[in-house]
Amino acid sequence: MPAPATPEAPAGWDFSDVVGSDSSLRRFLHGLPGVDQVGAEARAAQLGTRSIKTTAKAFALDLAIRMVDLTTLEGQDTPGKVRALAAKAMRPDPSDPTCPPAAAVCVYPDMVADVKQVLGDSGVKVASVATAFPSGRAALDVKLADTRDAVAAGADEIDMVIDRGAFLSGRYLQVFEEIVAVREACTAADGREAHLKVIFETGELQTLDNVRRASWLAMMAGGHFIKTSTGKVQPAATLPVTLVMLEAVRDFREATGQMVGVKPAGGIRSSKDAIKYLVMVNEVAGADWLDPDWFRFGASTLLNDLLMQRTKMTTGRYSGPDYFTLD
């Protein structure tokens, strides 16, 4: 599938002429190149067949571990559970000091302080969902308070959900302004700013055209990352959806000079699948995105499979799931 045309705009474009009204924003988003769904699915499938050699596979496994946002978002989460998860994120394989740490631990806002206490200055980030996750059905002041509470508790990253009802109704300016407001709420009283990941819930957006529009909308509003899913709705992350999002961040950098990260989340459970995503990142967006600062996996079970595959490569023996903690 050929790369879509990039909207013509000078580097550093601030979009002020686009976001002045709902009608102008709608014209811009609906003027983006349409997505060839058959072509996107075919290219994603073709990229998924790429094989990599042993040395490259070892590098890919370690890179994928470094990209994992180790996640627990359950009503039964306890301080003890999230503390154990934080310890695992820092030392995924306690028997092997060469194993890299995960990128972040993602929890609900009321668990942030417990995670922060364990992680300290380890370099592993504390991520928190906010804005009435996962539905996003709350008043804006409630969403902003949710965000501020998480940042005040020590969150380094905020994963917000867009109002899908507003987006699907064509109220794009409302969604844009909400993202802008949440990003402003990501700044703590001491001036520390948490990075903002914008979750689309792509399983509810219905079309790949909508995925492209949501991607541009979130990037124009100042999101640091665009993220597929909450993990609570199926389908969650898929290769075709992630392909469209990677094209969007690539085109956005060409148009503005600004890089934005991508985070597929939900349903990525195996090392084989993770490597497919890394191949796609390299082929579609480029090698600059092969870094935890620009690409993440939202996952609760992926890390264990990465650890099992890593152990097999380093020792020649396959260790079953019982050798690693259940999260």
Q: Give the residue numbers annotated as catalytic, written as ranges.
A: 159, 227, 263
Planar angle of CA 194, 198, 200, nearest 5 degrees: 165
- The two tokens of residue 245 are 């999002």
What's the rounded Cα separation, in Å, for the pair 319 and 297?
23
In whole angstroms, what separates CA 182 from the centre of its chain?
16
- 131 near 168, Cβ under 8 Å? no
Distances from the Cα of 260 to the Cαs of 23, 158, 196, 218, 231, in angstroms? Answer: 25, 15, 10, 10, 21
Q: What are phi and psi of 10, to 5 degrees?
A: -70, 150
- The two tokens of residue 164 are 């899908």
What's the rounded Cα separation, in Å, for the pair 174 and 163?
9
What's the rounded Cα separation, in Å, for the pair 112 and 152?
9
- The two tokens of residue 11 are 């580097």
Q: Which helix (H) or strand (E) holds 27?
A: helix 22-30
Q: What are phi and psi of 126, to 5 degrees?
A: -100, 115
